Structure 1
């Protein structure tokens, strides 16, 4: 990036509702490296493109709309690692037969507040949306809803589903297990997924509190972004097959694909000095809920497409999810809770700043600001991702996403 680079997103797009925050301008200026109009796409156009491509692969319109909304929501919030760059992954899964669009999802309601879902290897976003919506309905009816999902696929960003609960002014939790990419503390073999956790609680003023985090130092998507950009990754993200720090994202990804050893470090990093065992514990907790409790795959069996299969089974990722929705008015009036959350956030944001930092951020604040900006000015898409989307468009016989620059 040039030293004299001027961000191209106007300051007016970043005004917040919190006087203690003021302006949120270029939260991460790296997002602006490719922010010329020749790389920006309007949200609606991007969603329409994804839906049309999925339709060409036999995905029913309603399911395609759901997948498109989840993918584009990630790009809208600046989480490019989980956005439309992943479209090809889903198409490959459909073509290979382990992602089954249009399949009948089985729902079993074990109790008034509990349900289990067998996704039957359908699209992860579709099964997850069904699970979260069911948890929300149960919470609205009885105060709490808990839903597990088994035999699913990658479901995108965990925070998307929590946001649907927040939109209903409910507290929400969303978790999923994932393919083994993360080594356990003191180990050298990837046995755990990045296993994200999302939690949200409504506040009086936007944005609501929304924590969306992997239980690893980073996600695989972050490694892929660095690899696509031909950039070294920071030391402490991952280790090689011998357990040594590795800054070559391509090497780590290749090892993970080949199951050759090494992988991403758990949240907190190597060993226990900085709490790596805590991130490791959170990853195990997520897998216990999403894999073991849900009756789905867990640990190294998630996304194992080469395992020996019982007769009649298909090789599939068998990802598991866990959703919880909670009605806060069962504890106190909603307006009281929102004011209390707001007061807590304000207390944190008005506290002393370290090293001349301009402000302290609350989880979900940066993503909210980026979404407001990108909704108005367009979503920046990396050049290599645009190239891939155009190749997909040509193969499918649909119009490629139209950039705001006209190309």
Structure 2
């Protein structure tokens, strides 16, 4: 393993994406997000995605010259068009405008359409917490789970994230996929040649499998059975029906270079606590709940581990496996 600084890794990832056809701003925004995920221990949404994004750029599944634009803005609701580029610049614009609108109206809803994979959902909510606001993020993805009772993949794994700022300490961060695990974990397992636990996925014939490649070619199982499937439906509707984005079954898999431009959607809800009971009351209620949770010695606050790993990465760098580092250097022409 080789340790590199976050800045070194971001530069390497940026160069790789620019070389594949991304504009400099898109590449830099994407690289920052992937390095942040790697720093937080989220390898499935970290630097392993550089090769995938680069492949999509080279094959035309992503518009590397896209610049997000505001398509609609009405009071506390807004829609950003990613223009079929990588998702990160468009999501940043949507969240930035949602924070501004929530400061004026008390809450704001921002949608993103014609988008791509948006990485770790909670990453986009960091500016919301820094602004002292509550944030929720939703994203749909190419079909990977059946509707409850169905026999074919229809919904994406459709992550949901939430952030709640605290007056003392890092924010509470909840980030989860609505499949039993994120599909990216199967991608990592397949690359490493390792089996997956039974209960994560089905093969293309609907049989349980411990083979990650068979799971990638088949279907994911929803977390919580029917409840997870219904939540996945909610996310599809929030991210697509409201924004005009493509549903999961209309988007080709992220795990192949060839395919259509996915044109999926994201949605963000930002709430100003000061517009409700007040920031002081919000802070007190948060800390009361945190204290009650921590009264049990084995409870770990959501986001605590990510925060600790990110702090360590800032000072010590990030250890990268030789194979991944070699892949990044080759993509960057280093």
For Structure 1 versus Structure 2, the TM-score category normalised by the shorter chain is over 0.9
Any idea what SS the aligned residue of 1:340 has? helix
Ranges in structure 1 where 5+ consecutive residues have no aligned partner: 1-37, 256-261, 269-275, 306-313, 352-357, 400-407
1:218 and 1:77 mapped to 2: Cα distance?
Answer: 17
Q: 2:313 aligns with which of 362, 366, 374?
A: 374
Q: Which residue of 1 aligns with 2:181?
A: 218
Any idea what SS the aligned residue of 2:315 has? helix
Q: Which residue of 1 aligns with 2:202?
A: 239
Aligned CA RMSD, in angstroms, stands at: 1.8
Q: Which residue of 2 aligns with 1:298?
A: 247
Give me the TM-score of the superposition, normalised by structure 2.
0.93
Any idea what SS the aligned residue of 1:187 has? coil
Q: 1:267 aligns with which of 205, 223, 226?
A: 223
1:301 and 1:89 mapped to 2: Cα distance?
Answer: 19
Q: Which residue of 2 aligns with 1:28?
A: none
- Residue 176 of structure 1, CA deviation: 0.7
Q: Which residue of 2 aligns with 1:390?
A: 329
1:250 and 1:315 mapped to 2: Cα distance?
Answer: 21
Give the number of the structure whose alpha-carbon radius of gyration is greater. 1
Q: Which residue of 2 aligns with 1:134?
A: 97
1:341 and 1:102 mapped to 2: Cα distance?
Answer: 43
Alignment map for 1:248-263 (pairs within 5 Å): 248-253=211-216, 255=217, 262-263=218-219
Q: Check conservation: 2:56, 2:62, Cα contact below 8 A.
A: yes
Moved more, 171-180 or 202-211: 202-211
Q: Which residue of 2 aligns with 1:160?
A: 123
Q: Deviations over 1:165-196 (max 9, x none)?
A: 10111111111100111233333321111100
Moved more, 71-80 or 360-369: 360-369
Any idea what SS the aligned residue of 1:388 has? helix
- Residue 139 of structure 1, CA deviation: 0.9
Q: 1:170 to 1:97 in 2, by over 3 A?
A: same
Any idea what SS the aligned residue of 1:107 has? strand
Q: Which residue of 2 aligns with 1:317?
A: 262
Q: 2:230 aligns with which of 271, 278, 281?
A: 281
Any idea what SS the aligned residue of 1:173 has? strand
More strand, by proportion: 2
Q: Deviations over 1:386-405 (max 9, x none)?
A: 23213213xxx3x3xxxxxx
Q: Check conservation: 2:19, 2:331, Cα contact below 8 A.
A: no
1:153 and 1:304 mapped to 2: Cα distance?
Answer: 11
